[in-house]
Amino acid sequence: MLYTSTRDKSIRVESSVAIAHGISKEGGLFVPEEIPKIGLDDISRLVNCSYIERAKEILSLYLTDFTEEEIDYCVNGAYKEGNFSSPKVAPLHTLNPNTEILELWKGPTCAFKDMALQLLPYLLTTASSKTVPDKQIVILVATSGDTGKAALEGFKDVPNTKILVFYPNDGVSPMQKLQMMTQEGENVGVCAIEGNFDDAQSGVKKIFTDKSVAKKLDDMGMMFSSANSINWGRLVPQIVYYVSAYCDMVEKKKVNLGDPINIVVPTGNFGNILAAYYAKEMGIPVKKLICASNQNDVLTDFLKTGIYNKNRDFYTTISPSMDILISSNLERLLFLLSGMDDKAVGGWMSELSADGKYQVSEDVLIKIKEYFEAGSCDDKGTKETIAKVYGETGYLCDTHTAVAISVYDDYESVTADNTPAVIASTANPFKFSASVLDAVRPGICEGMDEFDIVLGLHAETGAECPPQLENLKEKTPRFTSVCKKEDMEKVVFDMLSK
């Protein structure tokens, strides 16, 4: 299995190179040259396997330059007993007879990013030992909330690595901010920026592709890699949990083997739903992939019209991990649906950079509409959904999951599609406790600090706050710096010199 770039398909590298470097030198994203297939016989066999066994089989299809022993080492290390609070790792919770919630937040930072970022350090250190054994790896991350903490936790004190995280100062929840500011580890650095996630992401991409920065880093015996979903090593573990979810649907007798499901994903950067697309293309029976956006609905508009336009108002919402107007992973989908037309993709990305918008060809739009549906939900609708779901079922969901549930309810009412659905749940509700409690008991949060709200949410619902969040109250912040977006490069080298 070789990998090419979305902007230069003459590039052909092994997965270890793609993972170690994170992004192609011309700014494109690495993608496998072909998507491996699994049949119903394979799925039937995987139904009786553990999550670890499923992960080893799927990853081995994509990471063919990793030995069986290396795959075992990586997967067993990431998903070992005690690392996730559920023995299923990514369990299904029945919301109603036709809908299952895929709980992806049982890991150490209580967010779906743990599913990949507990594995990525193993993949990256294994890959770099093969390809750049003489280099120290510098992980550079832009986060809208959950990726930052999950990456910091995954890479803390990993030998021969450093990790530096940038986040929008006013664009994450108080709990997310506290998780990053109190991060432990000798090889970690965190800095807030004045701006939004797109500013942080653009700044990181600029640093990544600056040849003078790369030369300076090389002189220091270092090289950049990424823990964002632009890195294939972040995306490929996410494919696993959609394959696993279908296996669990069969095991729970929610579908018969071979019957299709719908998959609903709240997403801003498009990585999580792209992983579901890869699972579908591998052979998982999927009828529709439903993309759920918050008020920053650039993806909803694009999937309906084929016009991507980031020239619009940016909203700071109660589902901050989706507060994104530049969805990086969409580039991978466009490459696949255009027949791997790197020139077309490069042109669209150049238009996005220059004008903030582009329009795909009619044949690409036809394929998008064949595979995807899309909808959005504002903050009012998000809170109404949290209250409705809790009131009707007793299930407490976070703000991002509520967006997905709301969008799927709208989809069902319009289409009358009764295909069994899996809804990706991306975070523990206590990561957004103020918004969740205000949804369940409007107005109760006034005058309360973050940890009073946590206690209030427990008292109101009986839900238990995970200890790794509850214990933040006792921790002293280590990282309190805030920089301007144009100063990010200086901050990087200041942190690396410490």
Which tokens hold the place of 495?
């942190």
CA atoms within 13 A on the CB side of 342: 16
The angle subtended at Cα 104 by Cα 141 and Cα 16, nearest 5°, is 50
**384-420: string of b/e by CB count within 10 Å (b at 16+)?**
ebbbbbbeeeebbbbbbbbbbbbbbbbbbeeeeeebb
Set 56, 106, 113, 135: catalytic member: 113
Would you mind telling me the total number of residues written for the chain in this entry? 498
Which tokens hold the place of 357?
């918008």
Determine the Cα–Cα distance for residues 34 and 456; give it in Å rounded to an integer: 50
Question: 296, 324 in Cβ contact below 8 A?
Answer: yes
Q: Does an H or E element contain 475, and which?
A: none
Is 383 an annotated catalytic residue? Answer: no
SS3 222: strand
Determine the Cα–Cα distance for residues 90 and 78; give it in Å rounded to an integer: 13
Residues 6+ apart with CB under 8 A from 316: 170, 171, 196, 323
Give the C-alpha distances (Å, rounded to integers) separating 65 from 18, 130, 182, 240: 11, 10, 37, 18
The identity of residue 144, as a single letter, is S
224 pairs with which residues across the strands?
Answer: 138
Which tokens hold the place of 267?
């997403």
SS3 248: helix
* Alpha helices for 156-196 (secondary structure H): 174-181
Residues 6+ apart with CB under 8 A from 267: 273, 291, 292, 293, 299, 322, 327
Active site (catalytic) residues: 113
